[in-house]
Amino acid sequence: MRILVTNDDGIESVGLHVLARAMREFGDVVIAAPDQEYSGASAAIGALHIMRPEVHRRNVDGIDEAWAISGAPALCVFLSRFGLFGEPFDLVVSGINPG
């Protein structure tokens, strides 16, 4: 099973890393998360007709594939759904929020 893990707190969030490592038990995990915090704007996609989001590979301990995207979480999932990171995902998991 291919599992996409995302969040609205950004690629550096400890909760994201913990969740992604926990999901390895259930399948192949890929992280695609915003390159910065987007709390409160997780459903935003942005003006796709004028923006060109940047996508950068990141190292996350214990995860083979992690990506930081210059856009909101919904955009991360949108791009993932349309094949930016390979085959379609069977499951999308979001979290873990601090606090």
Q: What is the pLDDT of residues 18-44, one digit of tens each?
A: 999 999 999 999 999 999 998 877 666
Q: Which of 97, 93, 13 is nearest to 58 (CA)?
A: 13
Instruction: Please state the pTM of the whole predicted model.
Output: 0.91
Q: How many domains does the chain have?
A: 1
Domain span at residue 9 reads 2-94
Query: 71 in a domain, yes or no?
Result: yes
**Phi/psi of residue 53, each to 5°?**
-65, 140
Overall average pLDDT of the 52-73 stretch: 94
pLDDT tens digit string along 43-61? 667 655 567 889 999 999 9
| CATH of residue 86 | 3.40.1210.10
DSSP 48: T
Both tokens of 49, joined, read 């007709």
Question: If you average pLDDT over residues 1-21, what whole number do you get?
Answer: 97
Per-residue CA distances from 60 to 40, 52, 88 (Å): 24, 24, 21
pLDDT averaged over the chain?
Answer: 91
